[in-house]
Amino acid sequence: MSSFSMGNLPPSLTCYCISAMEDVLRIGLLDDEESPRILLSEIIALIPGYEISFSTDDPFLTLELIKNGKIDILITDIMIPGFSGLELSKKILHLDIPVIICSAHDRFGVESFKVNTVYFILKPPSFFEVSFALEKARATFIKYKPLANPNFEDIVRIREYNEFKIALIKPTEIQYIEQKESFTWIFLESGKTITTRDKFYNTLEKIERPYIFRIHRSFAVNYLKMRYLDQGYCHFDNGVRIPIGSTYREAFENFLQNKTVI
């Protein structure tokens, strides 16, 4: 059985280990072999700000636990009976869970990044690689989930064009955003429209969310509200269609491909 201790670390990494405690993120470990999971658990135990939520060889159980909100970060092998770590990563793309691949097969390194994994660790994992991968995963987690409080209601404050009124809107209710001359128009699923004098890019910075994507120099859409898209437009339930700019098409199609569960 492998083992890991603080005595094996160079001084600089030892200092890193005893740095100030951050918010604790929960990690799920998936590997059909027990020894890599034991080694990862021992390494993670030395890194402040993380804890193991579960360790298993069952990808189906892992998927169920992820859907039930049991982890913030997943570390998975690739070659697993049932379905692979890459298949699992595809199935949870829409949940924006940071995924770290830990595999003995480096030929899968490039392929792993096609499913939005944040880092690839070549077995056997080292303290440096695991700690670096976890910090990248933490940065991704913070970006997509700025507040992990389940009671938190995501609200954005937008000053309306008359400058005497502040609109409070939920980004999840946005259908699309449009720039019209010197104004930015925010169209909500309810049919309500918010108009602001903020420049288009300033508004997008305020409302930056993983499901809001710019598809045209004058339009951004909430892809979760789309009905379908064709060669030139994104279509919504209420008959609205938004043009896809030629310079944005490839990036948007790649984004949607990475978000598609096959």
pLDDT, tens digit, 9 for 90 and up, residues 188-241: 999 999 999 888 988 998 888 878 899 999 999 998 888 888 889 999 988 899
Q: Which amino acid is at 95?
A: L
The two tokens of residue 153 are 């209601």
Q: What is the enclosing helix (H) or strand (E) of 168?
A: strand 166-169
Q: Given this model, what pLDDT does residue 85 score?
A: 85
With contact defined as beta carbons under 8 Å apart, do 99 and 118 qualify?
Answer: yes
Question: String of b and e for 127-136 (b: at least 16 CB within 10 Å)?
Answer: bebbbebbbb
Q: Cis peptide before 36, with omega less than 30 degrees from 0?
A: no
Q: Give the burial class of 184: count Cβ atoms within 10 A of its Cβ; 0-12 exposed, 13-18 middle, 19 or more buried.
A: buried
DSSP structural state of residue 245: P
Whether a cis peptide bond, with omega within 30° of 0, leads into 48 is no
Helix (H) or strand (E) holding 235: strand 233-236
pLDDT band per the 50, 70, 90 thresholds, residue 21: very low
Write down the H helix ranges in 68-165: 85-91, 109-112, 127-144
Quick check: 108 and 121 in contact, CB under 8 A?
no
- Rounded-to-integer distance, Cα 113 and Cα 195, Å: 38
Q: What is the CA radius of gyration of the chain?
A: 21
Q: pLDDT tens digits, residue range 41-96?
A: 999 999 999 999 999 999 989 988 998 889 999 999 988 887 788 888 888 877 88
pLDDT band at 107 (very low <50, low <70, confident <90, very high): low
